[in-house]
Every structure is written in structure tokens, then in C-alpha cells.
Amino acid sequence: MRLFIAVNLPPSIRDVIHAETTSLRAVVRGVKWVAAPALHITLKFLGEQDERLVGDLRGALESVVQRHAAFDVRTTEVGAFPNFRRPRVVWVGMTGESPLRALARDIDEALAPMGIARETRPFQAHLTLGRVRSEMGAADAAALSEAARASQPTGAFAVHAVDLMRSELGPGGSRYSLLAAVPLHARGT
């Protein structure tokens, strides 16, 4: 099964972010846009894993997450990886980078002894809005960049849990299902 570890957004927040980025989706073709229910912050992509590993993964998450307190995040600007001249992924940035990075780092370290490869890229907190299907022409890239500058999605929420998620690929895109929600400890405890 295909797995990842994420922070899921409250439905009301992800719906607002999705609505406020409608103008981006109207600007260019060739981008596979993420549906509102699929918006999340990925902490670690695990790829294909044996189903028997789910219990061990949950245990590892519990041991890591209990060391972290709940915290707040807020959306920032719309950006693109690697940049808007050659966009491959369109995203919304997030504040709370430091606690998210610490969670991602600790999860990465806890899963390495289970044979799950460590991350090689530095962590950058973001919500993926869309993935560019093929090389985008300069005019479309400029139009997308301009629309991104004009789009300032707003959303703030408290992160209370880290979720182990399953991703099933299908003709309509990926479907996500929650396998385990592991709560962070309450602030001030």
C-alpha cells in the first residue's frame, strides 16, 4: 500500500483555501489541480509499504509525536517548485515552519531503522495546489506567476495531530484514507 504521513487541514480551512485559489485554476491548462479534500501538509512520503508495517509505523509515530506540542500554522504566499519560470508544483506556503520541520525530522529519524529511506531534500512546509503535467511555455508560466501574486489564500489553524495516510491511485486522481491519527500533546503540558 502507498503511504504518507501528513497534517490534514480542518475541512473549513481547506475549503476556503481552495475557493480563494480558484483564479489560479482558471489561468492555465496542463496543471493537475488538487481537490479541496486532498489538501494537506506532507511530513514524509513513505511510498509502497507492506500492510503489515502499519502497526509499527503507528507505534513509531506515537513515540515521536508525544514529544511535540500542538502549534499554530497560517498560510503565506503562493509559490512554485522549483520556481515560476519552470513550475513543476504550485503550492501555498505555511508559517509554523520550525515545528513542522522538527516533526518531519524526528519522523524521518524514527522510520530509518525500519528501512524507510531518509529524506534527501530539505523540508519546506507547503500545501500542494497542483502539479504541472508537462513543460509549461513562458507565456503560461508568466500568467501563472501573475495569478499567484494576486492570490493570497488565507487560512490559520492549530495542528493537533499527525496522520498516517493511505493513497490509492485511480483514474480520477489519488484518494486518501486515514489509517491512524496520532495526537500531539496539548500546549502547556
Is 188 a domain residue?
A: no
Residue 178 has pLDDT above 70, yes or no: yes
Residue 115: its pLDDT value, please?
93
Is 97 a domain residue?
A: yes
User: pLDDT of 70-83, one tens digit each?
Assistant: 999 999 999 999 99
CA dihedral 150, 128, 97, 71 (to 10 degrees): 100
User: pLDDT of 90-142, one tens digit each?
Assistant: 999 999 889 999 999 999 999 999 999 999 999 999 999 999 999 999 999 99
In one-letter notation, the amino acid at residue 24 is: L
Active site residue 160: no
3-state secondary structure of 134: coil
CATH of the domain at 130: 3.90.1140.10
Which among 180, 175, 183, 185 is positioned nearest to 164, based on CA atoms? 180
Choice between 96 and 65, residue whose per-residue pLDDT is larger:
65
From 18, 40, 160, 185, active-site residue: 40
Phi, psi of 167 (to 5 degrees): -120, 120
**Chain-centre distance for alpha carbon 63:** 22
Is 80 a domain residue?
A: yes
Is 141 a domain residue?
A: yes
Element containing residue 9 per DSSP (H, E): none
Is 81 a domain residue?
A: yes
Residue 189 has pLDDT above 70, yes or no: no
Q: Please count the structural domains in the chain.
A: 1
- Answer whether 0.75 is exceeded by the pTM: yes
User: pLDDT of 6-43, one tens digit each?
Assistant: 999 999 999 999 999 999 999 998 999 999 999 999 99
Active site residue 185: no
Residue 63 has pLDDT above 90, yes or no: yes
In one-letter notation, the amino acid at residue 150 is: A
Cis peptide before 11 (omega within 30 of 0): no
Residue 82: its pLDDT value, please?
96
DSSP 64-131: HHTTSB-EEEEEEEEEEES-SSS-SEEEEEES-HHHHHHHHHHHHHHHGGGTPPPP-SPP--EEEEEE
Is 143 a domain residue?
A: yes
Domain that holds residue 140: 2-169+179-183
Average confidence (pLDDT) over 145-160: 92
Is 10 a domain residue?
A: yes
Q: Which residues contact 103 (CB under 8 A, 6 or more apart)?
A: 43, 64, 65, 68, 162
Residue 173 has pLDDT above 80, yes or no: no
Residue 188 has pLDDT above 70, yes or no: no
Is 130 a domain residue?
A: yes
From 68, 126, 160, 185, active-site residue: 126
Residue 169: its pLDDT value, please?
87
